[in-house]
């Protein structure tokens, strides 16, 4: 580690010496000053690039657990020519080291930089880290410009008066001049100076707990710095102010991760049609990607680069979708489940519907443009997946979930509900891949998992996950003598000493804290979603909100008093960081606060989608929203046209209720019989995605609805994705079946 740090620092300093002389030219900087103490552990060293000839080093400041503020010119192709850079993934691999005053130690934490958000006019950029920093407190952003004459501290890692590539952080004291627009002039006190090696060093006002970040160093004369012209004695420097762009910092650092396959900083979307005919093969399946910002579309099949296999009848490529940054390069990677994939076993015998999952790498050129994807399949690789046998009907990839743990480690969860266990058909198993660890997994017979495998459970047929938990649905599970009553398991991302993820808790109806009894056909857990949540008094989003769809639940019609089978309902739970979960909402159309009335086969809860529009803030009825699909709803005489209801599970149901159908919320058109609106839902922090694979288009359609449209905010435009429009081919069968 020490050798690599030295090499990067030397290369960066050599580059800086070439491009830096006049004050007016952006340059790599460092500071002449004493060795720094732990008071500035929020100072960051950035190692940019791996090429010996072009790599460089910069400094920055941790301003939020996942964000570093530094100079945009650090990432410019030619810093001497200006600081304009593109948003999105950094142009070269970048590693941030935080909380390590002495680079020869292993103190602090290292994180990759995955996304850049440059300021529109200043030499400033916010760099998003691959995971949050949990051991160092971020520095506060200043609220006012320093007064002329105020002494400021500038910690950095670059050259000193006597060292070309120091291994310890140093701090210089400089005096503020009178700010001119966004520039803050600085002058070194005594022999202190800002030198080549660390563009982006934080400029600090105050001391101790009152320290504030007021500017970021960008240019300097380098008087007295090692390697500088001995005739140069000026210690003046210029920094970019940050006190007056605090709103930009706050707005950026509270944004959620977006799906960005081509790394341009604009939201993309993937929409599956698993029943599409490909190369003449029915139900082979495909996924269509629509790039944000008008950057075009692409179609992914099993003939695409980076995707193993070829299209075969019944594969259903795209039956399930998930997104995450598997390789932490800043480009979103797409996981695609193909549960109908036919394979061969170790003896070469055909195995129908064994299934697999393809992870297709994102890239600046787009997704599925280059080779190098990963296929997760039984009997290949290390860990549990590698030792698993392939059997007909395993349906690996029937359900998948992906994301990043609390420390930013990528994970992928794979359900194989058709797996036979201990001679019990379709008992079901879940495989789990976290970072570079060997694959592992679990089933109901795993030690301490609190239930037993039974034939037909199909454990793992429904999955959801956030950074804290994995939720596993087994809606076909029999509870007592009640067939298909259903259960849900909550599992943590912690790998136990036995090599398996640690079980947290189980939920099923009839428990003391879930008053509704377990009944045959309830299908508790047929739909699941999880979202991170910050309760009052917590420092961050430590908890989770879980929504559980129970579409087979019988309900009593309020108007007639007659029992309506499969009317459905949704149960919502608060799962704290520790301790027991609690049910916070029970939503059904028998409740006077819920619009409509329970009807047979409405199947309320067949799909659910949760969002938290501001997860870093304390959760409220205005930030946590739940969309519930009721695809069997017959509305105004239009048979099974479907309905979506939106509520806040943290607020009053009646006050937050909204009914979304064509003609409301910005969705175009009118209700169509058998289109089953609400069958396919997905959520981001900004939009509710509604898939309508059964109509009104003959190929299916999908809509992106701003949450504001259905939660009482200022309505925004709805984006409709339809084959035959906007560059999408006019073909398909069930476009919109899955969306990410």
The 10s digit of each residue's pLDDT in 389-445 is 999 999 999 999 999 999 999 999 999 999 999 899 999 999 999 999 999 999 999
- For residue 570, the surrounding DSSP H or E stretch is strand 569-575
Token pair of 29, please?
């900087």
Round to whole Å and give the CA distance between 366 and 355.
26
CA dihedral for 245, 248, 251, 255, sign (positive or negative): negative
Say which residue the tokens 């199909």 belong to. 458
Residues 524 and 487 sit within 8 Å (Cβ to Cβ): yes
Token pair of 619, please?
């959760």
- Measure Cα distances from 593 to 43, 645, 647, 652, 657 in Å: 52, 12, 10, 8, 8
Residues 516 and 553 sit within 8 Å (Cβ to Cβ): yes
Round to whole Å and give the CA distance between 606 and 526.
7
Q: What is the pLDDT of residues 292-310, one digit of tens each?
A: 999 999 999 999 998 999 9
Confidence of residue 4 (pLDDT cuts 50, 70, 90): very low
At residue 579, the pLDDT reads: 87
DSSP letters spanning 598-659 = --TT--BTSEEEEEES-TTSPP-TTTEEEEEEETT--BTTBTT-BEEEEE-TTS-HHHH-EE
Task: Show Cβ contacts of residue 432 under 8 Å, excluding neighbours closer than 6 positions.
Answer: 411, 412, 413, 414, 439, 440, 441, 442, 470, 501
pLDDT top residue among 23 and 420: 420
Say which residue the tokens 């939201």 belong to. 267
Burial zone of 80 (CB within 10 Å; 0-12 exposed, 13-18 middle, 19+ buried): middle
At residue 6, the pLDDT reads: 18
At residue 369, the pLDDT reads: 86
Nearest to 525, CA basis, from 506, 497, 501, 499: 506
DSSP 697: S
Q: Which neighbouring-strand residues pair with 205?
A: 212
Nearest to 547, CA basis, from 632, 616, 647, 637: 647
In this model, does residue 649 exceed pLDDT 70? yes
Radius of gyration for the alpha carbons in the chain, expressed in angstroms and rounded = 28
| Mean pLDDT on 281-290 | 98
Ranked by mean pLDDT, the top range of 539-543, 576-580, 622-626 is 622-626
In this model, does residue 565 exceed pLDDT 50? yes
At residue 20, the pLDDT reads: 32
| Mean pLDDT on 620-630 | 97
Token pair of 380, please?
């290949």
Nearest to 331, CA basis, from 297, 367, 307, 295: 367
Total Cβ atoms within 10 A of residue 369: 18
DSSP 65: T
Q: Taking all residues of the chain, what is their mean pLDDT, rounded to a whole number?
A: 90
In this model, does residue 7 exceed pLDDT 50? no
Percent of the chain with pLDDT over 90: 75
| Cis previous bond, 696, omega within 30 | yes
Specify the 3-state DSSP secondary structure of 498.
coil
Output the 3-class SS for 194-226: EECCCECCEEEECCHHHCEEEEEEEEECCCCCC
- For residue 727, the surrounding DSSP H or E stretch is none
Confidence of residue 450 (pLDDT cuts 50, 70, 90): confident
In this model, does residue 241 exceed pLDDT 50? yes
DSSP 87: S
Can you say whether residue 536 is alpha, beta or left, with left for phi > 0 and alpha for psi between -120 and 50 degrees? beta
Nearest to 27, CA basis, from 10, 44, 43, 15: 15
Residues 366 and 360 sit within 8 Å (Cβ to Cβ): no
- Measure Cα distances from 486 to 161, 489, 522, 544, 597 in Å: 70, 10, 7, 21, 24
- Measure Cα distances from 710 to 292, 652, 737 in Å: 22, 15, 22
In this model, does residue 470 exceed pLDDT 90? yes
Confidence of residue 9 (pLDDT cuts 50, 70, 90): very low
Count, residues in the chain: 740
pTM: 0.90
Q: Which neighbouring-strand residues pair with 569?
A: 550
Residues 81 and 133 sit within 8 Å (Cβ to Cβ): no
Q: Which neighbouring-strand residues pair with 501?
A: 495
Total Cβ atoms within 10 A of residue 173: 15
Sheet containing strand 569-575, edge to edge, reads: 527-533, 543-550, 569-575, 582-587
CA dihedral for 674, 731, 357, 528, sign (positive or negative): negative
CA dihedral for 585, 586, 588, 591, sign (positive or negative): negative
Burial zone of 678 (CB within 10 Å; 0-12 exposed, 13-18 middle, 19+ buried): buried
CA angle 40, 146, 159 (to 5 degrees): 45
Terminal-to-terminal C-alpha distance of the chain: 38
Total Cβ atoms within 10 A of residue 492: 15
At residue 208, the pLDDT reads: 64
Task: Show Cβ contacts of residue 709 under 8 Å, excluding neighbours closer than 6 positions.
Answer: 665, 666, 715, 716, 718
In this model, does residue 13 exceed pLDDT 60? no
Total Cβ atoms within 10 A of residue 420: 18
- Measure Cα distances from 577 to 159, 181, 256, 257, 541 in Å: 44, 46, 20, 22, 9
Domains of the chain (ranges plus CATH)?
2-253 (2.40.10.120)
| Mean pLDDT on 507-532 | 92
Task: Show Cβ contacts of residue 247 under 8 Å, excluding neighbours closer than 6 positions.
Answer: none
At residue 583, the pLDDT reads: 95
Q: How far is CA 590 from the centre of its chain?
A: 36
In this model, does residue 209 exceed pLDDT 70? no
- For residue 481, the surrounding DSSP H or E stretch is none
Percent of the chain with pLDDT over 70: 94
Token pair of 319, please?
């039956």
At residue 27, the pLDDT reads: 38
Q: Which of 74-88, 153-167, 414-428, 557-571 has the lowest mean pLDDT?
A: 153-167
At residue 188, the pLDDT reads: 86
Q: What is the pLDDT of residues 662-693, one digit of tens each?
A: 999 999 999 999 999 999 999 999 999 999 99
Round to whole Å and give the CA distance between 549 and 555.
14
């Amino acid at each position: 580690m020490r050798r690599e740090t030295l090499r990067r620092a030397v290369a960066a300093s050599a580059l800086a010496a070439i491009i830096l002389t006049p004050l007016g030219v952006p340059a790599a900087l460092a500071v002449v000053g004493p060795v720094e103490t732990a008071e500035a552990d929020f100072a960051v060293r950035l190692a940019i690039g791996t090429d010996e000839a072009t790599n460089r080093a910069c400094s920055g400041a941790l301003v939020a657990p996942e964000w570093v503020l530094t100079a945009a010119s650090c990432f410019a192709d030619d810093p001497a020519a200006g600081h304009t850079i593109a948003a999105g993934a950094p142009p070269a691999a970048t590693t941030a080291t935080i909380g390590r005053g002495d680079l020869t130690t292993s103190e602090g934490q290292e994180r990759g930089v995955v996304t850049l958000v440059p300021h529109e006019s200043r030499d400033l950029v916010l760099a998003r880290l691959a995971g949050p920093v949990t051991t160092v407190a971020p520095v506060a952003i200043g609220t006012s410009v320093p007064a002329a004459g105020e002494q400021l501290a500038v910690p950095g890692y670059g050259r000193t008066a006597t060292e070309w590539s120091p291994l310890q952080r140093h701090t210089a004291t400089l005096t503020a001049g009178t700010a001119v627009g966004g520039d803050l002039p600085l002058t070194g006190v005594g022999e202190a100076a800002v030198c080549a090696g660390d563009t982006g060093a934080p400029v600090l006002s105050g001391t101790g707990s009152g320290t504030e970040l007021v500017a970021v160093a960008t240019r300097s004369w380098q008087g007295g710095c090692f390697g500088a012209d001995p005739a140069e004695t000026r210690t003046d420097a210029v920094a970019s102010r940050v006190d007056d762009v605090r709103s930009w910092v706050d707005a950026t650092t509270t944004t959620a991760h977006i799906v960005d396959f081509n790394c341009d900083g604009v939201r993309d979307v993937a929409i599956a049609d698993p029943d599409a005919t490909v190369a003449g093969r029915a139900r082979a399946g495909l996924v269509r990607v629509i790039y944000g910002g008008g950057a075009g579309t692409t179609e992914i099949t099993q003939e695409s680069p980076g995707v193993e296999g070829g299209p075969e009848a019944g594969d259903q490529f795209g039956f399930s979708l998930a997104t995450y940054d598997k390789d932490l390069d800043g480009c979103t990677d797409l996981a695609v489940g193909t549960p109908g994939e036919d394979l061969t076993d170790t003896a070469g015998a055909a195995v129908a519907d064994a299934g697999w999952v393809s992870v297709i790498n994102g890239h600046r050129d787009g997704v599925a443009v280059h080779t190098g994807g990963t296929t997760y399949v039984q009997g290949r690789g290390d860990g549990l997946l590698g030792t698993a046998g392939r059997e007909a009907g395993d349906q690996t990839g029937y359900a998948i979930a992906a994301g990043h743990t609390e420390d930013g480690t990528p994970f992928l969860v794979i359900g194989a509900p058709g797996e036979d266990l201990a001679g019990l058909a379709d008992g079901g198993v879940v495989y789990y891949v976290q970072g570079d660890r060997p694959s592992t997994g679990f089933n109901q017979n795993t030690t301490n998992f609190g239930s037993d495998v039974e034939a037909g459970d199909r454990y793992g047929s429904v999955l959801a996950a956030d950074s804290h938990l994995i939720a596993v649905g087994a809606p076909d599970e029999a509870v007592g003598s009640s067939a298909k009553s259903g259960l849900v398991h909550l599992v943590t991302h912690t790998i136990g000493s036995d090599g398996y993820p640690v079980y947290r808790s189980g939920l099923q109806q009839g428990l003391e804290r879930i008053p509704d009894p377990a009944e045959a056909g309830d299908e508790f857990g047929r739909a699941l979603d999880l979202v991170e949540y910050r309760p009052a008094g917590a420092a961050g989003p430590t908890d989770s909100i879980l929504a559980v769809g129970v579409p087979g639940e019988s309900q009593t019609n309020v108007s007639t008093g007659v029992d309506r089978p499969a009317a459905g309902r949704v149960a919502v739970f608060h799962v704290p960081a520790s301790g027991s979960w609690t049910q916070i909402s029970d939503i059904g159309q028998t409740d006077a606060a819920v619009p409509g009335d329970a009807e047979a086969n409405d199947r309320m809860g067949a799909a659910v989608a949760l969002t938290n529009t501001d997860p870093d803030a304390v959760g409220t009825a205005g930030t946590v929203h739940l969309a519930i699909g009721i695809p069997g709803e017959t509305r105004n005489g239009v048979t099974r046209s479907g309905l979506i209801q939106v509520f806040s599970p943290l607020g009053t149901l009646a006050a937050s209720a909204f009914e979304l159908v064509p003609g409301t919320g910005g969705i175009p058109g009118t209700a169509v019989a058998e289109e089953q609106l609400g069958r396919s839902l997905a959520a981001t922090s900004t939009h509710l995605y509604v898939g309508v694979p059964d109509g009104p288009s003959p190929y299916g359609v999908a809509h992106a609805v701003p949450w504001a449209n259905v939660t009482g905010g200022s309505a925004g435009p709805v984006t409709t994705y339809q084959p035959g429009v906007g560059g999408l081919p006019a073909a398909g069968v069930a476009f919109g079946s899955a969306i990410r």
